[in-house]
Chains A and B, each alone.
Chain A
Amino acid sequence: MTYWDQEKECMARDNLEKLQLRRLKETVFRSYAFVPAYRAKMDAAGIKPDDVNTLGDLQKLPFTTKQEMRDNYPFGLFAVPMSEVVRIHASSGTTGKPSVVGYTRKDVDTWADLMARALVSAGADKRSVIQVAYGYGLFTGGLGAHYGAERLGASVIPASGGNTQRQILLMQDFGSTHLACTPSYALFIAEVMHDMGIDPAGLKLKAGIFGAEPWSEQMRTEIENKLYIKAYDIYGLSEIMGPGVAIECPFRTGLHIAEDNFLVEIIDPVTEEVLPEGSLGELVITTLTKEAIPMIRYRTRDMTTLSNGECPCGRTHVRMQKVLGRSDDMLIVRGVNVFPSAIETVLLGIPGVEPHYMIILERQDNLDIMEVQVEVSEDIFSDEVRKLEDLHKRIAKELESNLLISVKVRLVEPKSIPRSEGKAVRVKDNRKI
């Protein structure tokens, strides 16, 4: 097994926890001293930095939400003067103001290091040619992956997102061995490659590092079969750092969270109660080394489970399962919680069905109607009505038995569902509430 930083990645748990506690105390102290919003929250909760003496004391501290980042727009949560900030990123807010994050020189350095760690975990080394097809800009994906790949000593192709035919040309001509982008964009690239009549077997591409949106195991299989690569899930979010917070190892039984830098909990998104290991809930992250914008108990909105069991790769860091969905992407349809990713999982479980779908929500006579549009690929098309009707019924039945609500399924022509070059938009909520 190859590691980037074996000492940290394989640290004995008791030593790791000592390191975490020391870093947690420092983070809490700095946040209280330098961020008025944190101080106000802690004062209101009657907590002083000195009250944090064990890792368990973390639970005494108030949560931090995306809303607080908006309320303190743009730099209100920064713990350092702007003269110390060397980089600013922002996450696109679908509603309201974006959340803005800053990085000190050391933050950028830590991030590059963690990203290099992630790339090594996904099998890259200094001989790799890494094509970064995440967007460069305010979004953390592009520059995050870029700095990590440079830190590793690999050759970076800063392709950024979009211009798919050029991406494919770069892969062919520059011999990219690794592709970093969103999983839906990887599928889109595979499709365009197919349309261009290019056989991915002729490429040097070996692996992909895919993240920035939830994706399913079936989607992984699909990407791997279409591009002939190994697909690794990477996790990160700009509020915490960017990509590189967690990464799969070659055993791919979850994503190892860089616990020397992040402290994680799972909570019930409604009651905010901390849940025991193995429970499905919202991931909450506390940063341990961030200087510019320390985050205490940040509610990621990402739904997952954690497991502490030993991993054959030798890394001791806790693993999170693939993100099941966002607690705020969660659709509430007739009172039932529905994750778009669960719909994807069902569809991909039906042979021949492509992961191209669209969820349309309407409200008729105070009743929610959920329509799922599924593209009819050549694999599932039949000249016989009965066979297509059977398929139609099967999709509806499997969706209903998995989601526990009735679903109207509509078969649509291929490519009638818009393809995404970034994050996939799969829900159209037309309900007027």
Chain B
Amino acid sequence: MAKQISVFLENSSGRLAHVTRVLGDAGINIRALSIADTSDFGILRLIVNDPDHAYKILKDAGFTVSETEVIAVRMPDSPGGLADVLDQISEENINIEYLYAFLGFAGGDALVIFKVEDIKKAREVFEKKNINYVEAQDLYKL
């Protein structure tokens, strides 16, 4: 399990630049990021090297921020790699709220961040099925 930082953005690219600048100035490294965009607003989701610090920095800068539990899964970076994992998850009736990929992950594997409805259950399933998820402390270090 890992902590994701979510940030509310009014629909403006200037605000995204501002978030990343604020984090950069505080020495925080962004490891993975996704933006869910609607015509009215955006939600920026981040995996960073120090989520608690990032949360505080962004909050102090006046952003609406939340911390969310997500799960990072390591899978072979080959055709069908993600499909195999998704199949196994759906067999167990785990609801996925959203997912996105990790940036530039070395070692020939891919890393995908999942937000699921029931994270405890997902973890049990992953263990049972031998799906390779990454512990938080390892993830932040990557």
Contacts and interface: CB of A to CB of B under 8 A. Distances in A.
B is bound to A: yes
Interface of A: 376-378, 381-385, 388-389, 392, 410-416
A392 B66 contact: no
Interface in B1-47: 4, 6, 8-10, 15, 36, 38, 40-41, 43, 45
A383 B10 contact: no
A321 to B, nearest CB: 35
Contact of B40 (A384, A392, A414, A415): A392
A97 to B, nearest CB: 39
A413 B62 contact: yes
Contacts of B9: 413
Nearest to B68: A383
Given A383-B66, A388-B43, A376 B8 contact: yes
A378 B38 contact: no
B140 interface: no
Nearest to A408: B40
A179 B4 CA distance: 42
B133 interface: no
B66 A381 contact: yes
Interface of B: 4, 6, 8-10, 15, 36, 38, 40-41, 43, 45, 62-66, 68, 97-98, 115
**Which residue of B10, B15, B64, B98 has the most chain A CB atoms within 10 A of its CB atom?**
B64
B98 A384 contact: yes
Contacts of B66: 378, 381-383
A427 B2 CA distance: 43
Contacts of A410: 40
A384 B36 CA distance: 8
A382 to B, nearest CB: 7
Contacts of B38: 385, 388-389
Contact of A377 (B6, B43, B64): B64
Contact of A383 (B4, B40, B62, B63): B4
Given A389-B38, A414-B64, A381 B15 contact: no
B137 to A, nearest CB: 22
Given A382-B6, A384-B97, 8 more contacts: A383-B4, A383-B66, A388-B38, A389-B38, A392-B41, A411-B8, A413-B9, A413-B15
Nearest to B41: A411
A interface secondary structure, majority? loop
Q: Which 3 A-B pairs have the closest CB atoms?
A: A383-B6, A383-B68, A385-B36
B66 to A, nearest CB: 6
Contacts of B15: 413
B65 A378 contact: yes
B64 A378 contact: yes
Contacts of A384: 43, 97-98, 115
A2 B94 CA distance: 64
B4 A412 contact: no
Contact of B63 (A385, A389, A392, A413): A413
A413 B10 contact: yes
A411 B68 CA distance: 21
Contacts of A392: 40-41
Contacts of B8: 376, 381, 388, 411, 413
A378 to B, nearest CB: 6
A411 B10 CA distance: 7
Contacts of B4: 383
Nearest to A389: B38
Contacts of A383: 4, 6, 43, 45, 66, 68, 115
A411 B43 CA distance: 12
A2 B45 CA distance: 57
28 contacts: A376-B41, A376-B64, A378-B64, A381-B8, A381-B64, A381-B66, A382-B66, A383-B45, A383-B66, A384-B43, A384-B97, A384-B98, A384-B115, A385-B36, A388-B41, A388-B43, A389-B38, A392-B41, A410-B40, A411-B8, A413-B10, A413-B62, A413-B63, A413-B64, A414-B62, A414-B64, A415-B62, A416-B10
Nearest to A384: B97
Nearest to A373: B10
Nearest to A416: B10
Nearest to B12: A413
Nearest to B36: A385
Contacts of A388: 8, 38, 41, 43
Nearest to A383: B6
